[in-house]
Amino acid sequence: MANERPRYVPAEIEEKWQQRWEQEGVFVSVRRPGRPKLYVLDMFPYPSGAGLHVGHPEGYTATDIVARYKRMRGFDVLHPMGWDAFGLPAEQYAITHGVHPAVTTATNIATFKRQLKRLGFSYDWSRELSTTDENYVRWTQWIFLKLFERGLAYQSETPVNWCPALGTVLANEEVIDGRSERGNHPVIRMPLRQWTLRITAYAERLLSDLEGLDWPETKKKQEDWIGRSEGATVFFPLADRAGHLEIFTTRPDTLLGATYMVLAPEHPLVDEITTEAQQAKVLAYRAEVASRSDMARTALSKTKTGVFTGAYAKNPISGERIPIWIADFVLASYGTGAIMSVPAHDQRDFEFARQFGLPIVEVVSPDGELHDASTWSKAFDGDGINVRSGFLNGKRTPEAKSAMIAYLEEQNLGTRRVNYKLRDWVFSRQRYWGEPIPIYFPVELHPGSSDPRTDAHTIRFDQPIAVHEDELPLRLPDLQDYKPSDDPSGPLARALDWRYFQRDGRWFARETNTMPQWAGSCWYYLRFLDPTNHQQIFSPQAYDDWMPVDLYVGGSEHAVLHLLYARFWHKVLFDMGLVKHKEPFTKLVHQGLILGELEFSTFRGEDGSLVSFEQVDLTDEDAPRLKGSGLPLRREKLTESMIQKVDKKFVLAERPDIVVDARSFKMSKSRGNVVNPDKIIEQYGADALRVYEMFMGPLEAVKPWQTNGVVGVFRFLDRVWNICTQATSTAPALPEDAQRLLHKTIQKVTEDIEGMRFNTAISAMMILVNRLGEIPRIPVDAAEKFALILSPFAPHLAEELWSRLGHRELLAWEPWPEYDPSLVVDDVVELAVQVNGKVRSRVTLKKTATEAEARAAIADDPALRPFTEGKTEKKFLYIPGRIINLVVG
RNA sequence: GCCGAAGUGGCGGAAUGGCAGACGCAGCGGAUUCAAAAUCCGCCGCCCUCUCGGGCGUGUCGGUUCGACUCCGACCUUCGGCACCA
């Protein structure tokens, strides 16, 4: 059809508007007096070599909609973007390809930036930053120095997973059964000098300040992570010798039920107290434990292990002698690394007692009667009434706890105490691509030595010296070889000329560990306030202009670590008077993961026989096995035509006894189900991608991708184009129902954006467009209103329509349309008429109709007759504007 | 094991005490076309019925209510987090 009317071709309009926005600096954040402000922040990405995937634009589109909407509402909006660019992948790539991480990082950032720009996000790019920028590193290091000055950064000897073959320290997750996940090399537990941040000093504030934050279930996760518990410290004197054991317990009320004690194998007192007879066993046990990782120690071991030290302690109340054991279920890093064991009232202690035949004595009874705990099948760890407990007898658990603590304090045998699961934060990495820690140490040359780069020397790690602020940033040396080596001090140790330097005739050595990737992301939201400031980390004015962050959107994988670390730094800066709010992020939202397209698959044994899904053990995702026998199976992809649904299960069409696995997988290169946003944009345009990402479902939900769904959204935008480009000023006014629908849609979209329910906002706009499509000619005014409410979602299309409707100014400057309140409420509505709660008819009634009018309206309804005939009315329910329900019997 | 979230058509989802399945995808039928694409129109939970219509239906079982996807109790399943923290 040779129609002159131009078609909707996104490729022809999107770049044009992106350029116009940039030229006119529409999205450069400026504070204007008298305006409200909004700081909308995305979790900035790690610019990986793979480029953007469709998961990135999900959260970014959501914040962009909010940012654009709020600008139209008269807010001054800060909406920045940057790069979390330090980290392992760039370094790994450098090792295998011989390209400097700075080079790959720059390339990746360029790719990400190009891809983000194609999506038309309204970022203020003039504030762009990368954590790798010298100007940023400088202030990251500056904060480290402040931590150091305050005693919040200290060195410690922490056992780490050291893999000599890989020449690196591994995270706990990277160690499986004492071997490296990559390469299956042996991993040893080795104490290594580490920089550690004293986050535990802030445990209480990190916990209590969560209150009042508009955060989702993440708050709970952080609470659990911090793990506050109340109890008491108790001193148990050693029997037969001087000294005592200090333990922490949350159940001081059970003190008299303690029948033995357990120390962590690493506990410093173990050497002292172990008797000669037990020496060999204890040593052997400790060696065995040392070779196991934390994971193996905790998760995998079901049966308890342990060894008797030969020593005894005395119950501080009863004076009874009780044996002291060591066992690996007691963690050296929690509490005091020692416990009193009350097997009757703690499941772990119970299992251990059973394992080694230790006595189990009831001191808390569920009913106040005496029971024989040695016959129990599990511990009683609930609240009850104390028995066999002297002065505690008859007291209920909460009361008994405080009575015991009072007694302990009075007798100097112990004190009330609060304990946290939260540990101090191991802050050093034996890696190249990170911020150098701005610390150096004096070097002692050995006799005959003159140059530590070649001669024997000792580095005095016990005398750390802060790099002077004026010398920041401390840059990374330009290494050619980033490989970790068998030297756990890391690759920087090989940059001898960087590491060693002379000052006033003395030699010094720099710290060669670097900071973890978390460092840069801990405070980037603050640098966005004032990213080019060379004198200060940010100016107080910039802070007052924009802080706090009003909306922070990112993945829930950062629910604990990043968000806890950032809060910790923020609180330190608060104590320094640099920031004025206790908390940085007022409202937090996690976008849900986007999975790959739904896949069907079946399983075959080695002999090729089909296996029904119920018989498949998927404990290891990538290695399916037959339940029971453990025989390996092969996963085989199916096409939809081979599947049938029977009773809520998918089965093979040809073999209905074979149940098929139907699920969406996380997108991954190896699975080959990654969707590239560039491809989608080429085919359907950025606006369709944006709208589809928001239309998929609730922002927070995990959702599978369906490329077909993009088609539906594209059709919608195409219809919008057709309707709005045909709008004329001479068209008759909209029919009343359409006019009402338009205003209801404005209301719905407004409220849904405020509540971040973008999927329902879009469906409301689709409903409106479907109605408008039935009307031959649309007035310009209606088209304009529609373009305005669509603009946060599909900004390019909206701008194009806006200009075609005769506007020269950018739509981004326009105010958000108001709806007419008189048009959004209907005075006449269709009501459902129920008989005994089932809908049998409908009736059109005024909202203000009285009960009598309602009765009259349905009196002669033939549709109701079959259900009311011969029955008596028991009740007549009429809720104006909602429902009529006739109860008969 | 503990904590949290969620279970609704073939698929994504909507409705949070008042007409279940809006909106979209897929599918089926039609119009247009030489043909196709695109577009437009109609149908589209399951079962019974020629039709009119009726019955059933929101993971399962029970409860509250005139009325329950929605509230309460128990259970099942899936996803996420934590995992010997004394």
Residue A713 has a CB neighbour count (10 Å cut-off) of 25
Q: Which nucleotide is nearest to A830 (CA to C1')?
A: B19
- Estimate the crossing angle of helix A795-804 against helix A707-725, to 10 degrees: 10
What whole-number distance in Å separates Cα of residue A691 and Cα of residue A10? Answer: 13
Let me know whether A334 and A397 are in one domain.
yes
Let me know whether A492 and A623 are in one domain.
no
Give the structural domain span for A844.
828-888
Q: What is the CATH number of the domain that holds A352?
A: 3.90.740.10
Residue A333 sits at φ, ψ, to 5 deg, of: -90, -5
C-beta separation of A623 from A612 below 8 A: no
What are the pLDDT digits (tens) for A615-658? 888 777 777 888 777 788 888 888 777 777 777 778 887 787 88
Residue A872's pLDDT is 82
Å from the A831 CA to the B66 C1': 16
Q: Per-residue pLDDT for A300 more than 50?
A: no
Q: Is residue A218 part of a domain?
A: no
Give me A410's structure tokens: 């009075």
Q: Is residue A22 part of a domain?
A: no
Complex-level ipTM beyond the 0.85 threshold: yes
Mean pLDDT of A501-517: 93
Let me know whether A844 and A751 are in one domain.
no
Q: What is the CATH number of the domain that holds A88?
A: 3.40.50.620
Radius of gyration of chain A from Cα atoms?
34
Q: Is residue A356 part of a domain?
A: yes
Residue A215 sits at φ, ψ, to 5 deg, of: -120, 150
Let me know whether A250 and A319 are in one domain.
yes
Q: What is the bridge-based pairing of β-strands A883-888 and A873-879?
A: antiparallel
Q: Which nucleotide is nearest to A556 (CA to C1')?
A: B80
Domain boundary among A420, A454, A469: A420
Å from the A862 CA to the B51 C1': 19
> How many degrees, rounded to 5, is the angle at CA A147 between CA A145 and CA A153?
100
Q: Which bases of strand B have any atom within 7 Å of the beta carbon of a protein residue?
A: 3-5, 9-15, 18-20, 22-26, 38-41, 54-55, 66-68, 79-86
Q: Is residue A30 part of a domain?
A: no
Share of chain A above pLDDT 70, in %: 96
Q: Residues A837-851, buried b or exposed e (16+ Cβ, 10 A)?
A: eeebbebebeeebee
Q: What is the CATH number of the domain that holds A860?
A: 3.10.20.590
Å from the A317 CA to the B17 C1': 59
Q: What is the bridge-based pairing of β-strands A594-595 and A703-704?
A: parallel
Q: Which nucleotide is nearest to A648 (CA to C1')?
A: B59
What are the pLDDT digits (tens) for A61-85? 999 999 999 999 999 999 999 999 9
Å from the A777 CA to the B57 C1': 43
Å from the A794 CA to the B41 C1': 28
Q: Is residue A509 part of a domain?
A: yes
CA closest to B59 C1', residue: A648
What whole-number distance in Å separates Cα of residue A213 and Cα of residue A14? Answer: 38
Let me know whether A709 and A784 are in one domain.
yes
Mean pLDDT of A339-352: 94
Let me know whether A847 and A761 are in one domain.
no
Q: Is residue A211 part of a domain?
A: no
Å from the A792 CA to the B37 C1': 32
Q: Is residue A26 part of a domain?
A: no
Q: Which nucleotide is nearest to A884 (CA to C1')?
A: B18
Mean pLDDT of A763-768: 96
Edge-to-edge strand list for the sheet holding A425-426:
A168-170, A153-163, A188-197, A425-426
Å from the A867 CA to the B71 C1': 29
Q: Which nucleotide is nearest to A712 (CA to C1')?
A: B24
CA closest to B23 C1', residue: A763
Let me know whether A405 and A468 are in one domain.
no
Residue A4's pLDDT is 47
Å from the A704 CA to the B79 C1': 13
Let me know whether A378 and A235 are in one domain.
yes
When pLDDT is cut at 50, 70 and 90, the band that residue A3 belongs to is very low
Let me know whether A139 and A186 are in one domain.
no
Q: Is residue A549 part of a domain?
A: yes
Q: Which nucleotide is nearest to A662 (CA to C1')?
A: B11
Q: In total, how many domains does chain A have?
A: 7
When pLDDT is cut at 50, 70 and 90, the band that residue A293 belongs to is low
Q: Which nucleotide is nearest to A294 (CA to C1')?
A: B84
Let me know whether A696 and A756 are in one domain.
yes
What are the pLDDT digits (tens) for A409-419? 999 999 999 99
CA closest to B25 C1', residue: A709
CA closest to B5 C1', residue: A217
Higher pLDDT, A688 or A730: A688
Q: Which nucleotide is nearest to A643 (CA to C1')?
A: B10
Let me know whether A232 and A291 are in one domain.
yes
Q: Which nucleotide is nearest to A422 (CA to C1')?
A: B85
- H-assigned helices in A592-684: 677-684
Å from the A426 CA to the B82 C1': 20
Edge-to-edge strand list for the sheet holding A588-590:
A76-78, A37-42, A551-554, A588-590
Mean pLDDT of A349-378: 92
Å from the A710 CA to the B25 C1': 9
**Count of alpha carbons within 13 angstroms of residue A729, beta-carbon side:** 3
Q: Per-residue pLDDT for A504 more than 70?
A: yes
C-beta separation of A56 from A45 below 8 A: yes
Q: Is A55 exposed, middle or buried (0-12, 13-18, 19+ CB in 10 A)?
A: buried
C-beta separation of A264 from A332 below 8 A: yes
DSSP A780-804: HHHHHHHHHHHTTTSHHHHHHHHHH
Residue A662 has a CB neighbour count (10 Å cut-off) of 16
Q: Per-residue pLDDT for A358 more than 80?
A: yes
Å from the A224 CA to the B85 C1': 11
Domain boundary among A590, A611, A637: A590
pLDDT, mean over chain A: 90
Å from the A715 CA to the B37 C1': 14
**A817-820: long-range contacts, CB 8 A cutoff, minimum separation 24:** A817/A746, A817/A785, A817/A788, A817/A789, A818/A746, A819/A743, A819/A744, A819/A746, A819/A747, A819/A750, A820/A743
Let me know whether A832 and A882 are in one domain.
yes
Give me A861's structure tokens: 């309804």
A513: β partners: none
Domain boundary among A564, A590, A616: A590
Å from the A697 CA to the B72 C1': 29
Q: Which nucleotide is nearest to A702 (CA to C1')?
A: B79
CA closest to B33 C1', residue: A1
